[in-house]
């Protein structure tokens, strides 16, 4: 069996895969805009306050753009391990020059760059943490807590798995009604698309254990702050 870290690297460090991912972003991103706006709204800053946030697994910066738009005095440190995604991100973020920078970080390893060593005001992540196995998720949440300033927040927007098959069926039913081509598309994936899908879903976890990972790490105010079907925003803050 291919190691999940190797599978992720094969996908997200592939020029062809990233090019295809960017080309299909419009249809894929439909419906995610409001969730990312909520993610930004949950940050505990005044509209005109200057602060720096960190976006883990930032990709092309979709979540960062929501924060930068909501807080005109904010700046972002976007962490991602894929050179291809960082390059696409620089194109997407051309209008935010001077307000962001990329750093290289592989969330699967636990080796953080020195500039993210501590005192972080806020950490966000969007559609990335679900790629990690549960043991690594739990360890990552502890690493984030240790790097946040007292009172600093961590918020994650990600898919979760249903613990009840009936719930999973209901989620799928709604998704297929919203996208009538989805069901037929599932049976017509190319081998590459199928491999990417299987890698995408292999570590998606139920919500409950992930909330417990946050509590075990030492976060307070742990909650599910937004939810629609299988996508949630959850998080908490480091005690002040």
Give the integer Cα–Cα distance in Å for 115 and 109. Answer: 17
Three-state DSSP class for 224?
strand
Evaluate whether 78 touches 89 at the Cβ level (below 8 Å).
Answer: yes
Q: How far is CA 223 from CA 12, 17, 53, 213, in A?
A: 30, 34, 20, 12
For the chain, domains (ranges, CATH) are 4-237 (3.40.50.150)
Evaluate whether 40 touches 70 at the Cβ level (below 8 Å).
Answer: yes
Give the integer Cα–Cα distance in Å for 235 and 123. Answer: 10
pTM: 0.86
Phi/psi at 97 (nearest 5 deg)? -55, 135
Q: Which two tokens stand for residue 105?
A: 């970080």
DSSP 82: -
Torsional class of 127: left (φ above 0), alpha (ψ -120 to 50), beta (otherwise): left
Residue with tokens 């390893």: 109
pLDDT of residue 1: 46
pLDDT of residue 196: 79
How do the pLDDT tens digits run along the chain, 240 residues long? 456 666 666 665 677 665 664 665 555 566 799 999 999 999 999 999 999 999 999 999 999 999 999 999 999 999 999 999 999 999 999 999 999 999 999 999 999 999 999 999 999 999 999 999 999 999 999 999 999 999 999 999 999 999 999 999 999 999 999 988 887 788 788 888 877 777 778 999 999 999 999 999 999 999 999 999 999 999 999 999
Give the chain's radius of gyration (CA, Å).
17
Q: Which two tokens stand for residue 18?
A: 């990233």
Measured in residues, the chain has a length of 240
DSSP H or E run through 89: helix 83-92
Nearest to 125 by CA among 218, 57, 33: 57
Q: What is the pLDDT of residues 5-45, one digit of tens each?
A: 666 666 656 776 656 646 655 555 667 999 999 999 999 99
Evaluate whether 155 touches 42 at the Cβ level (below 8 Å).
Answer: yes
């Amino acid at each position: 069996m291919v190691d999940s870290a190797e599978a992720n690297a094969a996908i997200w460090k592939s020029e062809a895969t990233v090019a295809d991912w960017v080309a299909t972003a419009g249809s894929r991103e439909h419906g995610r805009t409001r969730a990312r706006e909520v993610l930004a709204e949950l940050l505990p800053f005044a509209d005109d306050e200057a602060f720096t946030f960190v976006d883990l697994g930032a990709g092309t910066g979709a979540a960062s753009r929501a924060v930068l738009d909501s807080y005109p005095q904010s700046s972002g440190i976007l962490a991602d391990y894929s050179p291809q995604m960082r390059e696409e991100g620089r194109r997407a973020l051309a209008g935010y020059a001077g307000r962001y920078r990329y750093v290289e970080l592989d969330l699967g390893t636990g080796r953080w760059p020195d500039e993210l060593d501590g005192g972080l005001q806020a950490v966000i992540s969007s559609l990335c943490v679900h790629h990690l196995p549960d043991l690594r998720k739990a360890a990552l949440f502890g690493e984030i807590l240790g790097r946040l300033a007292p009172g600093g927040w961590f918020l994650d927007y990600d898919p979760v798995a249903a613990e009840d098959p009936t719930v999973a069926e209901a989620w799928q039913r709604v998704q297929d009604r919203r996208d009538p081509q989805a069901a037929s598309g599932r049976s017509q994936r190319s081998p590459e698309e199928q491999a990417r899908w299987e890698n995408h879903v292999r570590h998606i976890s139920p919500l409950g254990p992930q909330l417990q990972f946050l509590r075990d790490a030492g976060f307070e105010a742990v909650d599910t702050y937004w939810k629609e079907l299988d996508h949630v925003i959850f998080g908490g803050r480091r005690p002040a």
